[in-house]
Structure 1
Amino acid sequence: MAWRDAADSIRAELNNLELTREDDDARSSVTVAGKVGGGGGKEKKLLLRQQSTASCSTVEDGATASVISGSEASSFAPSSTCFSSTSSSSSRAAQHGRESQRKAILRAGFRDLVGVAGDDDSRLLYLSLAVLPDGHEFTVKDAAVLLHGDGSARCGDGMAAASAAVAGGDKGGEEREEKAARRVLRVLEARGILTASGGRGGRRKSTSSPSSFRMHEAHSGFAREILLDCPKILGWAVGRWVGFLSSLDAVLFFDPSALARLWSAVEDVGGKGWRDGRPYETALEAIDNYDPLCRVCLVAVAKFRSAEGDWDGASLMWRRLLTVEQRAQEPNVMYPVWELVNAAEKGGKPEEAAAWRRYGRETLNLAMAGRLKEAEQLLRRALTIEEARLGEDDPRVARTLFHLGVCLRVAGRLEEAEEVLWRALDIETAGRGADDLVVARTLHALGLCAKLSSQGGGGDGALEDATELFAHALAIREAKLQPDDASVGQTLFELGVCLRRDGRVQEAEAFLRRALGIKEAAAALEAEGGVAATGAGGAGRALSRRSSSGSSGAGSRGSSGSSSSNRNGVDEDSVGLAMFQLGVCVLQGGRRLEEAETLLRNALDVETQRLGSEDVSVARIAFQHGVCLRRSGRREEAERVLGECVETLEARLGAAHEEVAAAKSMLDLCAATE
C-alpha cells in the first residue's frame, strides 16, 4: 500500500516539517540569493528548478550535492575536503557560513521536491533512504519496500519469491509498486540526489544484475538529520525496513557483510534493540530439520552472524547444522565441524576450538577405520559444496583437500593423494605464507606419501623427496612451536626413519632420540592426568562414547592387521614405535648391541600391550629383536622370538609373503649357528 494511504499522522508530520523549516529557509535564502548573483525567492526557486537538468557527479568525485552552475559550485561542495582548513577564526567562520548556506540549499531543494514530482512520495523516499548506510547501493526493489511495504516477496532468490510463484501471488501488484518506485528514483536521480551504479545492491551473485543507485553523501547526512527529528516518519521507515531485513529471504538474498552493515545503519538511526529478538533464529525454529531449506538457511544465518562478529550466534547455527548433517542420508559432517573450529577460534575460545578440532579428526578416523570409501565420499561432497560457496582458493577448501589427501594416502592411492595435497599446499602458501604451521602440516603429509612411495618402489628420488619435505616441515615447526611440542616430535620421528633408511645412521639416531624423548614426556604427562580430553558442548564426550562403541580395544587387531597409524591416517604417536626405530638405528650401527636389545625389547613389550601379540607390527618388531639377540650370541632366545614372529606373519600375511620368507631365513641361520 502506498504511503499516502497510511496513517494521517505520517502525512501531518511531513507537512508540519515544511512549516517548521520555513523561517530558516527564508532567512537563509537571502544569503543564498546573494551568493549566486542577487535576486529574491523567485530567483532562488528558478535556481533550484535548474537542478533537474544539471549534471551531478558521484560522491567519489567530490562534486556538489545540489548543483549550482558556474564558479559557485565549489562553494557548496558537500565534502569536507572541498573546504580549506586553516587555523584562523575568520576561516572557521567562513566555513561555518558556507555550511549554513549548503544546508539551506539542501533544505530548500528538499521542500521543492513536491513541486517537481507532483506528490509527496519523493520526499518520503528521500528521508527513508537515510536508514541505509552512507554510500550503500540499493535497488528499485529496496525503494519499493521503503515506499510500499515489507517486501517479503521481493528477494528474487528467496523462499517467499518461490512460494509466491507457486501460489500465483500478486505479481502484478509487485510490478506496479516497483514501477512507482522507479518513477520516484528518476526524479531523485535527475536532481543529482542519486547516482546510478552498476553494483548488485549488496545482493549475492545471481544470474540477474539489478540496476542499483547510490544516494549522494551530502543528501544522506542531511536526510538523516531531518529523519531523527521526525519520530513518526522515522518509525515508518525503520519499521518497514526492519520488517524486510528480518525475513529469512533477506538473509538468503543479501551478502552477509552487506546485511551486517544494513543492520548497523538501522541501529544508528533507530536506536539499539531492533535485533534483540534475533528474528532469523526465531524464524528458523519453525523450520523442521528435515526440510530441504533448513540447511541453506542455517548456513546463511551462521555466515551473517560471523560477519557481525557474533561468534556465539554463529556457533549455535553451526551446531544445529551439524545435527542436521548427522541425520541426513548424504551427510556433510565435516563442513559444520570446521566452521565450529573457526567460530571458536575467532570468538577467543581456544579450548573449545581444540575440542572441535579433535572431534573432526576423530570423526574422520572413525570413518576411515575400514570405511575408506565412505570417508572419501564424505570429503568429496564437502569439497564440492565449499568450492561452490567459497571459491577454489579459499583456505577452508584447502583444509578439506588436506583431509581428502590423508584419506587417499591411507587407502594406498598415493599419486592421487599427492596431487590433492600439493593443491592444498599451493592454496595455503599463497594465503598464509610459506612459514605457516598449516603449511608445515601439509608438507609433513606430503612427506608421508613420498616415504610410502619409496617403500613401494616409487623410484630412487622418493626417499630423498620425503627427507626434504620432512626437513622443511620440521624447520617451520621448530621455529613456531616449543621444542617439546608433539607435532615437532612427529616430524623428528619421520625424518629420523627416512635418514636411517638412507644409511645416514648417525643423523637418524640424533633425530630419533629427540623424538623418543618428546613422546616419553607426553606419555608420562598423560598418565599423570595432565592431558584431559574435554569436548565443546559435549562433542568430546559424544566422541568418546562413539569411539568406545565403534572401535576395537587396545589389545585387538584391525581387519587388515596393520598398525593404528595405517588405519586412521594420523602419524604414529606411540612410544613403542619410537623405541623400535631407535633400536633398529643403534643395531645398524653395530657397536652397542646391548642398548639396541634393550630398546627393541621395551618396544616389543609396549606394542604388544597396545596392539596385541598377533599384530603384524608387533611381529616386525619381534623380527628385529630376534636379529639383535642372534648377533649378541643369545641363540635360544633368538630362536624363540623368531619362531613366534614366523607364526604371526604366516597367519596374517600368508606363507608365500616375502616377510615370512625373510623371517624363516633368519630362523634357519639361528638353528645353523653352534
Structure 2
Amino acid sequence: MRYLLHPGRFLARLGAFILVRAAQCALSRGEYPRAERLFGLALRLAERVLGPTDVVVGAVLNDLGIVHKYQGRFDEAERVYRRAHAIFLAARGEVSLELAALYHNRGGLEHARGRDGRGEPFARRGLEIREQALGPAHPTVAADAAALAAILDGQGKRDEAEELFRRALTVFERIYGGEHYEVAVTLNNLGALCQAKGETEEAERLYRRALAIKEKRLGGSHPEVATTLNNLAVLCRSQARHAEAQRLYHRAMVIFHGALGPSHPSTQACGENYEALTGRAQ
C-alpha cells in the first residue's frame, strides 16, 4: 500500500483531513475566523508535504474560498478558486467531481457579488457533471440545482428557478427529513422567489418555516438566521407592517454585526434596509 512506502505523505493527508473537518464544523457554526485559521493550517501542511499542485491542496483552497465568500472577501475567494481550478484541471481533466464542486462554488461567488450572468455557466456546468455522475436524486445534485435556481432567480428567470428549487426541496426532504439545514436554505430562497412574484402569503409561510429550522439547527445568532430575518422584514415592510419589520431588521442587524462585522455586505445591506424603514416611519 502506498502509505506504507510514504508514511510522511499519509500522515500529511490524515492531518489535513482532521484540520479540514474541524474547519468545516467551525464554518457550519458561522465561526469564520476560526474556520479560516484551520483551513490555513491544513493548506500549509498539504503544500509543504504533498506539494503545491496536489489535489488535496486544491480541495483545501476550494474550502478556503467558501470562507472568504462568507466573509465578503470576494477577490480573495476568486484567487483561491482560480488556483484550485488549475490544480483540478491538471490532475483530473475537464470532467471530475472535484471540478464540479468548484464550479458550484464559483457560481455561488458570482451570485454573492450580484453578477448572476457570470455565475450561471459555472452553476450549469457543475450541475451537469454531478448529475451525470451521481444521478438526479442525489442530495449533492439537488444542492447544485438549488444553487443554479438562486442564480436564475437573480436574473428574473423565475419559472426555471422555481422548478429547480422545488425539485431540490423534494430531494432534500425525502433524504434528510423536513428540518435539515439544506431544507431551510431552499425554503428561504423559494420564499424570496415567491415574494418577487407577488405571492406574499406563500412567501411568508416559507420564510417562517425556514426561520424555525435555522434557529433550531444553527442557534439564534447564526448569520443564516439573520438572512431570513432580513427577508421576512422586507416582506413585512412591503405590507406596511412597520413595527414588526423594525423588530426583525434590528435582530438581523445585531446578528450580522456580531458575526460578520460592520463592513460585510450583508451587514451593510440590512443596515440600509433598517435605516430606510426607520426614516420612513419617522
CA distance in 2, matches of 1:608, 1:525: 14
State yes or no: 1:649 paired with 2:253: yes
- Match of 1:604? 211
State yes or no: 1:439 paired with 2:99: yes
CA distance in 2, matches of 1:615, 1:428: 32
Classify the secondary structure of the residue corresponding to 2:177: helix
Classify the secondary structure of the residue corresponding to 2:136: coil
Task: Give the conservation status (yes or no) of the 8 Å contact 1:639–1:667.
Answer: no
CA distance in 2, matches of 1:651, 1:598: 22
Among residues 637, 656, 665, which one is paired with 2:276 in the alignment? 665
Among residues 365, 384, 406, which one is paired with 2:63 in the alignment? 406
CA distance in 1, matches of 2:141, 2:61: 23
AA matched with 1:365: Q
Q: 1:483 Cα shift?
A: 1.5
Provide the aligned C-alpha RMSD in A.
Answer: 3.4
Describe the shift of the 1:484–1:657 C-alpha distance in structure 2 as closer, same or farther (beyond 3 A). Answer: same
Describe the shift of the 1:513–1:641 C-alpha distance in structure 2 as closer, same or farther (beyond 3 A). Answer: same
If asked which structure has higher relative contact order (CA below 8 Å, sep 6+), I would say: 2
AA matched with 2:277: M
Q: 1:516 Cα shift?
A: 1.7
Q: 1:409 Cα shift?
A: 4.2
- Match of 1:518? 171
CA distance in 2, matches of 1:516, 1:421: 28
Task: Give the conservation status (yes or no) of the 8 Å contact 1:619–1:649.
Answer: yes
- Match of 1:624? 231
Describe the shift of the 1:364–1:318 C-alpha distance in structure 2 as closer, same or farther (beyond 3 A). Answer: farther
Q: TM-score, normalised by structure 2?
A: 0.77
Q: 1:403 Cα shift?
A: 1.0
CA distance in 2, matches of 1:515, 1:475: 15
State yes or no: 1:482 paired with 2:135: yes
CA distance in 1, matches of 2:93, 2:170: 31
- Match of 2:108? 448
Q: Which aligned pairs between 1:345-384 and structure 2 lie closer than 5 A?
A: 361-366=20-25, 369=31, 370-371=33-34, 372-384=36-48
1:476-501 Cα offsets, whole Å, 9 max, x none, are 11111121212112111211111122
Classify the secondary structure of the residue corresponding to 2:135: coil
Describe the shift of the 1:501–1:486 C-alpha distance in structure 2 as closer, same or farther (beyond 3 A). Answer: same
Q: 1:406 Cα shift?
A: 2.2
CA distance in 2, matches of 1:649, 1:385: 43
Q: Which aligned pairs between 1:203-218 and structure 2 lie closer than 5 A?
A: none
Among residues 326, 336, 339, which one is paired with 2:14 in the alignment? 336
Describe the shift of the 1:639–1:526 C-alpha distance in structure 2 as closer, same or farther (beyond 3 A). Answer: closer
Q: 1:651 Cα shift?
A: 6.6
Describe the shift of the 1:366–1:523 C-alpha distance in structure 2 as closer, same or farther (beyond 3 A). Answer: closer
AA matched with 1:606: I
Describe the shift of the 1:360–1:492 C-alpha distance in structure 2 as closer, same or farther (beyond 3 A). Answer: farther
Task: Give the conservation status (yes or no) of the 8 Å contact 2:138–2:171.
Answer: yes
CA distance in 2, matches of 1:439, 1:377: 23
State yes or no: 1:507 paired with 2:160: yes
CA distance in 2, matches of 1:657, 1:443: 28
1:389-414 Cα offsets, whole Å, 9 max, x none, are xxx65xxx023223124214413554
CA distance in 1, matches of 2:277, 2:64: 36
Task: Give the conservation status (yes or no) of the 8 Å contact 1:623–1:642.
Answer: no
Between Structure 1 and Structure 2, the one with more helix by share is 2
State yes or no: 1:465 paired with 2:113: no
1:190-244 Cα offsets, whole Å, 9 max, x none, are xxxxxxxxxxxxxxxxxxxxxxxxxxxxxxxxxxxxxxxxxxxxxxxxxxxxxxx
CA distance in 2, matches of 1:500, 1:466: 12
Q: Which aligned pairs between 1:60-99 and structure 2 lie closer than 5 A?
A: none
AA matched with 2:118: D
Q: 1:440 Cα shift?
A: 0.9
CA distance in 1, matches of 2:227, 2:75: 27
Task: Give the conservation status (yes or no) of the 8 Å contact 2:61–2:84.
Answer: no
Task: Give the conservation status (yes or no) of the 8 Å contact 2:78–2:106.
Answer: yes
- Match of 1:581? 189
If you compute each CA radius of gyration, which structure gives the higher value, 1 or 2? 1
Describe the shift of the 1:464–1:512 C-alpha distance in structure 2 as closer, same or farther (beyond 3 A). Answer: same
CA distance in 2, matches of 1:474, 1:381: 31
Classify the secondary structure of the residue corresponding to 1:610: helix
Q: TM-score, normalised by structure 1?
A: 0.35
CA distance in 1, matches of 2:222, 2:179: 25
Describe the shift of the 1:374–1:488 C-alpha distance in structure 2 as closer, same or farther (beyond 3 A). Answer: closer
CA distance in 2, matches of 1:431, 1:648: 43
CA distance in 2, matches of 1:403, 1:336: 13
Task: Give the conservation status (yes or no) of the 8 Å contact 2:222–2:255.
Answer: no
CA distance in 2, matches of 1:431, 1:652: 39
AA matched with 2:61: L
CA distance in 2, matches of 1:481, 1:360: 27
Q: 1:649 Cα shift?
A: 0.9
Task: Give the conservation status (yes or no) of the 8 Å contact 2:103–2:126.
Answer: yes
Q: 1:642 Cα shift?
A: 3.3
Describe the shift of the 1:422–1:442 C-alpha distance in structure 2 as closer, same or farther (beyond 3 A). Answer: same
AA matched with 1:605: A
